[in-house]
Structure 1
Amino acid sequence: MSNLFTPNFLLKNRHVQTLYASIFRKIPNHTFDIEKFELSDGDFIECYWYNKRDITNSKPIVLLFHGLTGSYKSPYILGTMRELDKNGYDSVVVHFRSSSGVMNIKANSYHSGKTDDAMEFIKSLQNRYTDSKIFAVGYSLGGNVLLKLLGETADASPITAAVSVSAPLQLDVCSNQMSRGFSRVYQHLLLKDLNRSLEQKYKTHDMKSLINLEKKDVKKLSTFWEFDDAYTAPIHGFASAQDYYTKSSSKQFLKHIKTNTLLIHSIDDPFTTPEILPKEDEISPYVKLEIYQNGGHVGFLEGTPLKPKYWLEERIINYFHEYV
């Protein structure tokens, strides 16, 4: 399969690319080895290993960071983990807090710029698997987290090579985009899950005193701006949604990255706009951009609707092969 993405004309529509796998792709069930990783603040995340490794094994480890409301169940996660396994990599999906389906302990959760949980887990891997190289893939929100982490760590990055797919590099621009046209449908579906998760917090925390929002008003949050102003920003110490977006957007960190990183993006991504794409002077020499006209959001399907080929998985593996 070519490293250049060339979709069939029947698959060029942005929404077909974005939705096809979640609607039509059937991947056999897999039994994961679940690691409940304890965090330094007393909370935890759940990390799902695909074919749990032997501690004496020195195979490379690939960390997968899912998108907003994603998890081990997401087709792009399952498909990539299966292909990584076939190609000699161990892999683990690092769930953000509560994303595995088990509610976390604290009143806070996760957001697009929260890198500290991931770093704690990565450091534990370095201590446990001293002979293994660590790679990482981030999708959408997870791609933003990964790029920010790489920029923050710069020369001290623990990652050998990384791939970011469809990352919302400028969060405010992307939040605005999600309130336009058909993108509002995606926003509505994602917010249903986010609001439901926030409502769960009221069972174990005095959320009214923490964020000054009545439980009955959670369901009224209908845009990302509203949700992030009401919950994400105050519970994580930001002054406002704009403050959160400004400090957490990964675009400003790209020039500091010292890890070989592939950034895959499509012009027709319905979650973003071309406005967010970095210029040459906004990235470091370690960052390689692959920008395609088509591909949707975490799509990148080739072949035909009846015989689709998941180009993205092959591209990730081919890129990592350069650094094993």
Structure 2
Amino acid sequence: MPLVHSSYNPPLFFKNGHISTIYAGLIRKVNDLEQIRIRIDLPDTDFLDLDWSYASTPSKKLVIIIHGLEGSSKRAYIKGSAKILSKAGYDVCAINLRGCSGATNKLYRSYHSGATDDLRSVITHITQLDEYHSIYLHGFSLGGNLLLKYLGEKRDVPNTIKGAVAISVPCQLADSLEQLLQFKNAIYAKRFKGNLIQKLKLKQQLFPDHISDTDIENIKTLKDFDDIYTSRAHGFIDALDYYTQSS
């Protein structure tokens, strides 16, 4: 893979990656974007919420956007992309992965980096609408890994898929987790873990026989979360098996 050097020169304060990340996550706002929510049913009886934005004139081009870990269609990086793309003449479908739309999903399982069947269900739904001749995939972080895995599997990829962009992708999940667990990234790991545990507590109310208080107390790191919940809920042996199969 070629290394392409960027000519982008960020403003002074944003030359620091931590400042850029925290600003984008906590401060940046994107206004004047209309999102219309549509819920689709999945083959396993669960659901996904999709937030649509439309170009000012009817378009036959669509971009499907997939957020990162514990993101949603309402995050600034998703809304910012949708706003720019809509102005450029593309319709946009921003996926909320299971449990990320503000509504807890129905099943014990949730979303993960390799859950390509859910992306496949969205693409099938859209192609059945028969409204777009060109579809593009646009994923951030976990969502980028998801779309690259989908394309790499080469299962029923429709010829209307014309291209894809993946940003900040953890292409090797185990190595990426190792980086995330380093001291310099502790604030991000703590935030991710806190959000995931809050969702797990909601899931526990629906499935008390699957998730115990001890399980939740034993989650000290993100890897623990994947050992205790992600792997069990999605048919992997353990966290490392999940990372290997889903990268």
Q: Which residue of 2 aligns with 1:40?
A: 43
**Per-residue CA distance 1:167-224 (angstroms, 9 max, x = gap):** 1011111111111112111011011111111111111123x4x3xx413541541211
Instruction: Verify the 8 A CA contact 1:188 1:222 in the aligned structure 2.
Output: no
1:223-282 residue CA offsets vs partner (Å, 9 max, x unmatched):
111000000001100001000000000xxxxxxxxxxxxxxxxxxxxxxxxxxxxxxxxx
CA contact (8 A) 1:150 1:157 kept: no
| 2:166 match | 164
Of the three residues 217, 230, 233, the one matched with 1:232 is 230
**Larger RCO of the pair (alpha carbons < 8 Å, separation 6+):** 1
Distance 2:24 2:96 in 1: 20
Task: State whether structure 2 residue 13 is matched by structure 1 residue 10.
Answer: yes
2:43 counterpart letter in structure 1: S
- Corresponding position: 1:194 with 2:196: yes
Instruction: Map 1:261-300 to 2 at 5 A.
Output: none
- The equivalent residue for 1:173 is 175
Q: Secondary structure at the match of 1:160?
A: strand
User: For residues 118 and 22 of structure 1, what CA distance do their matches in structure 2 show?
Assistant: 24
Residue of structure 2 in register with 1:141 after alignment: 142
My pick for the range that moved more, 42-51 or 149-158, is 149-158
User: How many Å separate the matches in 2 of 1:67 and 1:219?
Assistant: 25
**Percent same amino acid at aligned positions?**
36
Q: Distance in 2 between matches of 1:36 and 1:155?
A: 23
Aligned CA distance change for structure 1 residues 4 and 127 (closer, same or farther; 3 Å): farther
TM-score by length of 1: 0.70
User: Number of residues paired by the alignment?
Assistant: 242
User: Which shifted more, 151-160 or 228-237?
Assistant: 151-160
Q: Give the secondary structure class of the aligned counterpart of 1:161.
A: strand
Offset, 1:33: 1.1
* Counterpart secondary structure, 2:206: coil
State the alpha-carbon separation in 1 of the partners of residues 214 and 179 from structure 2.
27
Question: Cα offset for 1:58?
Answer: 4.2
Q: In 2, Cα distance between the equivalents of 1:53 and 1:215?
A: 50
CA-atom RMSD in angstroms: 2.2
* Partner Cα distance (1:131, 1:103) in 2: 30
Residue aligning to 2:3: none
Residue 29 of structure 2 corresponds to 26
CA distance in 2, matches of 1:31, 1:156: 29
Taking structure 2 as the reference length, the TM-score comes to 0.90
Query: Which structure 1 residue ranges, 5 or more long, are not aligned?
Result: 250-324
